[in-house]
Structure 1
Amino acid sequence: MEVRDRIIEEATRLFFKFGIRSVTMDDIAVGIGISKRTVYENFKDKTELVYTCMRVLMQKQEQKNQEVMSRSGNVIEILLTSMREGIKAINSISPLFFHDLKKYYPEIWKPLHEENQKKNYNQIYTQLRKGINEGLFRKEIHVDIVSKLFYEQINLISDETIFPHDEYMFADVFQSMMINFIRGISTRKGIDLVDEMLA
């Protein structure tokens, strides 16, 4: 693995564990046994490093999504597998990571969040159409509205004014939202499949 990749990997690990603000370039250098100067030879500053880490994370997430879609037999399997993967990810990331990203790096968070929003909307729209064709989702649902509602509910989960981190487990809120959402738009056949997969 190249030095640059090792820096990205270690920075991401530390950011996930401690949040972004408290992690220094020194901490990252020490973590992989290189000099701070080497870190700065690869990244001009911490902002560039944070941006690169986010870009790499998004690429990995996209690859994982494609893998889940290619090995799943139907849309409900795709959504429940994505839910389980999402819970695993949530449990491995400190809430400070997203807090710091939004508060101290809005110039990174905002455009990447908007880009992700478009991508996720398109993906959920496609999955809803697929689910209707498979007879798993009700054909009378308004696909455009339901896609937007789904994405907005995902955003709502990370809203600390509604779900404070000291009162709610992020993973529990995410799971409740996903299961209720999928069951709510499913046909009888779809609901039976959800119950079977969750049993």
Structure 2
Amino acid sequence: MRDKILEKSSELFLNLGFKSVTMDKIASDCGVSKKTIYKYFKNKTELVAAVADFMFSSICTGIDLICVLKKNPIEEIFEIKRFVISNLKDEKSSPQYQLQKYYPKIYTSLSRKQFGVMQNCVIENLENGIQQGIYRDKIDTEFISRIYFSGMMSIKDKDVFPLDHYSMNTLMDKYLNYHLRGICTEKGIEQLENQLKQK
């Protein structure tokens, strides 16, 4: 039952936002009483924290499954992007922005975990790309992994990039294009162009 509550809550929070979804709504959509939900989560904040962890773990598992395939590094980046977008419903409700605004402690904790996972993944991608002659061999992988994370977090700021101007899918495509053109060799640029044509 706990997993069912987490799954349904994740879906509601992504589609409607963390603030607007009530415990009554979650109970109704799960087909249980509020008392049942409170048996597993003492309040909404605890449920939000559990949902954030649940979503983070699900996405990490999916990304690991993509990375284990050892695809071309540029193809891998776009495959991860597609996976994340499909799992976050194109971020219609700006979940990161809402977490930051209404649940700052949960947001800070999640950001730290995201950074640790994303940095390792990006550095591995960069090193593979250098070995394959797709990325330039003089790049500072540590620095670029931090810039990459910072940029990915920044494009989710709806004050800077309002969702009525840009979909999250468009923003991520533009950001990946920007990121990759700064580090690719000519061979890498060709592969990037091929990826962009496949959209």
User: Partner amino acid for 1:106?
Assistant: P
How many angstroms does 1:96 deviate by? 4.2
The answer for the alignment partner of 2:75 in structure 1 is 77
Within 5 A, what are the aligned runs for 1:59-70?
59-70=57-68
Measured in 1, the distance between the counterparts of 2:99 and 2:20 equals 12
Structure 1 counterpart SS, 2:158: coil
Measured in 2, the distance between the counterparts of 1:10 and 1:96 equals 18
Contact (CA 8 Å) 1:83, 1:178: kept in 2 or not?
Answer: no
The answer for the alignment partner of 2:185 in structure 1 is 187
Contact (CA 8 Å) 1:10, 1:28: kept in 2 or not?
Answer: yes
How many angstroms does 1:162 deviate by? 2.2
How many angstroms does 1:115 deviate by? 1.9
How many angstroms does 1:171 deviate by? 2.1
Are the structure 2 counterparts of residues 57 and 92 from structure 1 closer, same or farther at C-alpha, using a change threshold of 3 Å?
A: same
Measured in 2, the distance between the counterparts of 1:89 and 1:34 equals 25
The answer for the alignment partner of 2:14 in structure 1 is 16
Within 5 A, what are the aligned runs for 1:117-156?
117-156=115-154
Contact (CA 8 Å) 1:43, 1:49: kept in 2 or not?
Answer: yes
Structure 1 counterpart SS, 2:172: helix
The answer for the alignment partner of 1:25 in structure 2 is 23
Measured in 2, the distance between the counterparts of 1:99 and 1:153 equals 15
Q: Which runs of 4+ in 1 moved over 6 A?
A: none
Contact (CA 8 Å) 1:19, 1:97: kept in 2 or not?
Answer: yes
How many angstroms does 1:128 deviate by? 0.7
User: Partner amino acid for 2:86?
Assistant: K
The answer for the alignment partner of 1:38 in structure 2 is 36
Are the structure 2 counterparts of residues 187 and 96 from structure 1 closer, same or farther at C-alpha, using a change threshold of 3 Å?
A: closer
Contact (CA 8 Å) 1:14, 1:23: kept in 2 or not?
Answer: yes
User: Partner amino acid for 2:108?
Assistant: K
Within 5 A, what are the aligned runs for 1:170-185?
170-185=168-183
TM-score (norm 2): 0.91
Structure 1 unaligned blocks of 5 or more: none
Moved more, 178-187 or 158-167: 158-167
Q: Please, which of 163, 181, 197 is the counterpart of residue 195 of structure 2? A: 197
RMSD: 1.7
